[in-house]
């Protein structure tokens, strides 16, 4: 109760003498409205439509605040609703930095998170904060902000975008997981209890922030993000029961083979002979002296594109084998030599 009261007091402290003409609820609602409903909705908020544009596949409806109630309020405000394919959004522009700041602060109260110290400082209510280029997200919604010059007046812009996440029924193969574009997208479908932020160590010197879906289970999948600050924009996906991020270092229980299967039919635990059968053509993997030991050479020979689906093998009886000393070894030669190779992990590229 005390925290709620403090939040309300802080919100009130950054409200100017001008009343708030649009709320975070309004900006979120706009992302789901059709053109017809949007015009009616904005009219009730005293916004008059000024334009409807179709630009490079985007439909944009623009509105200007028609202030009749408070002539002393000279703040310039614009709102737009847009859709681009399945992506929808809203844009709010105001000439008041205080109003811009207040709305972002209210988004923070709704659970939107920023992934950098400057964004955090914005949400601690610091009236000296002047960074207007920030990024926030929550589940299937993202917010980008910046400042622009419009009719020789500086305006502060909030762009709210809704990008639909895949449905549970659409996730059948490991490659389907590549459709998720951020940690928050994963949370939107699978729930916060099934997704964990973590750190993955490729070596003692090389590590990366990551998101773990269904950690320490046969359905575990590790997402490595290009944007390490915001945990978004997928770089690649790792599948394999033996992969251990930092948060699983104390997990010492045995784990069944990973249950994710690729479009091509590959899965962890699969024997080399079965991979060869699926590929319908011989392929190579690196020998034990290579820094990429037991990794299938990333090239396309046959049905499987090993440039998109990286495969690392394990072996039950390779120690001491003369064949393994070669730089590259063909799958057919390894099978003919009686080597018992199987898939340990897969790396999927978008």
Residues 197-225: pLDDT tens digits? Answer: 999 988 888 889 999 999 999 999 999 99
Band of residue 18 on the pLDDT scale cut at 50, 70, 90: low
Q: Are residues 330 and 282 in the same domain?
A: yes
Which of these three, 162, 178, 208, is where a domain ends?
A: 162
Q: Are residues 182 and 330 in the same domain?
A: no
**pTM for this entry:** 0.75
Do residues 44 and 32 make contact, with C-beta atoms less than 8 angstroms apart?
no
Band of residue 114 on the pLDDT scale cut at 50, 70, 90: confident
Q: Are residues 86 and 101 in the same domain?
A: yes
Q: Are residues 289 and 333 in the same domain?
A: yes
Residues 317-347: pLDDT tens digits? Answer: 999 999 999 999 999 999 999 999 999 999 9
Q: What is the pLDDT of residue 323?
A: 97
State residue 147 phi and psi, 5-degree precision. Answer: -115, 150
Do residues 208 and 318 make contact, with C-beta atoms less than 8 angstroms apart?
no
- Report the C-alpha gap between 240 and 219 in whole angstroms: 9
Q: Is residue 113 part of a domain?
A: yes
Q: Is residue 260 part of a domain?
A: no
- Report the C-alpha gap between 196 and 96 in whole angstroms: 38
Which of these three, 162, 177, 193, is where a domain ends?
A: 162
Find, among 335, 290, 32, 316, the residue nearest to 160 by Cα.
32
- Report the C-alpha gap between 136 and 114 in whole angstroms: 5
Q: Is residue 256 part of a domain?
A: no
State the residue range of the domain holding 52. Answer: 2-162
- Report the C-alpha gap between 238 and 263 in whole angstroms: 15
Q: Are residues 108 and 214 in the same domain?
A: no
Average pLDDT, the chain: 86
Find, among 105, 42, 109, 39, the residue nearest to 77 by Cα.
42
Q: Are residues 206 and 309 in the same domain?
A: no
Can you spell out the DSSP letters for 311-336?
A: EEEEESS-TT-GGGGSSEEEHHHHHH
Which of these three, 123, 142, 162, is where a domain ends?
A: 162
Q: Are residues 133 and 186 in the same domain?
A: no
Count of domains observed in the chain = 3
Find, among 232, 210, 233, 214, the residue nearest to 223 by Cα.
210
Q: What is the pLDDT of residue 13?
A: 42
Of 61 and 120, which is predicted with more confidence? 61
Residues 145-180: pLDDT tens digits? Answer: 998 888 888 999 999 999 988 999 999 999 999 999
Q: What is the pLDDT of residue 117?
A: 41
């Amino acid at each position: 109760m005390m925290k709620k009261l403090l939040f309300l007091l802080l919100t009130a402290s950054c409200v100017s003498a001008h009343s708030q003409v649009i709320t975070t609820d309004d900006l979120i609602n706009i992302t789901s409205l059709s053109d017809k409903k949007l015009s009616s909705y904005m009219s009730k908020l005293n916004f008059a439509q000024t334009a409807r544009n179709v630009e490079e596949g985007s439909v944009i409806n623009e509105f200007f605040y028609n202030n009749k109630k408070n002539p002393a309020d000279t703040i310039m405000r614009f709102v737009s609703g847009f859709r681009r394919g399945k992506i929808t959004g809203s844009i709010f522009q105001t000439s008041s930095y205080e109003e811009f700041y207040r709305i972002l602060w209210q988004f923070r109260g709704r659970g939107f998170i920023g992934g950098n110290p400057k964004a955090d400082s914005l949400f601690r209510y610091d009236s000296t904060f002047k960074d207007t280029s920030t990024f926030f997200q929550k589940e299937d919604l993202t917010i980008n902000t910046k400042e622009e010059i419009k009719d020789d007046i500086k305006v502060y812009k909030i762009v709210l975008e809704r990008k639909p996440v895949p449905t549970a029924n659409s996730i059948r193969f490991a490659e389907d997981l590549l459709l998720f574009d951020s940690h928050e997208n994963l949370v939107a479908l699978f729930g916060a209890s099934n997704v964990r932020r973590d750190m993955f160590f490729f070596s003692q010197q090389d590590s990366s922030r990551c998101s773990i879906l269904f950690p320490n289970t046969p359905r575990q999948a590790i997402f490595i993000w290009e944007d390490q600050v915001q945990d978004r924009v997928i770089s690649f996906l790792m599948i394999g029961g033996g992969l251990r991020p930092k948060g699983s270092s104390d997990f010492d229980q045995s784990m069944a083979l990973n249950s994710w299967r690729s479009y091509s039919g590959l899965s962890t635990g699969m024997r080399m002979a079965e991979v060869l059968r699926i590929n319908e053509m011989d392929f190579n993997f690196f020998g034990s002296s290579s820094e990429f030991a037991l990794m299938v050479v990333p090239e396309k020979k046959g049905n499987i594109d090993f440039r998109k689906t990286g495969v690392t093998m394990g072996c039950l009886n390779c120690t001491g084998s003369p064949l393994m000393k070669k730089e590259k070894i063909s799958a057919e030669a390894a099978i003919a030599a009686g080597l018992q190779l199987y898939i340990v992990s897969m790396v999927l590229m978008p």
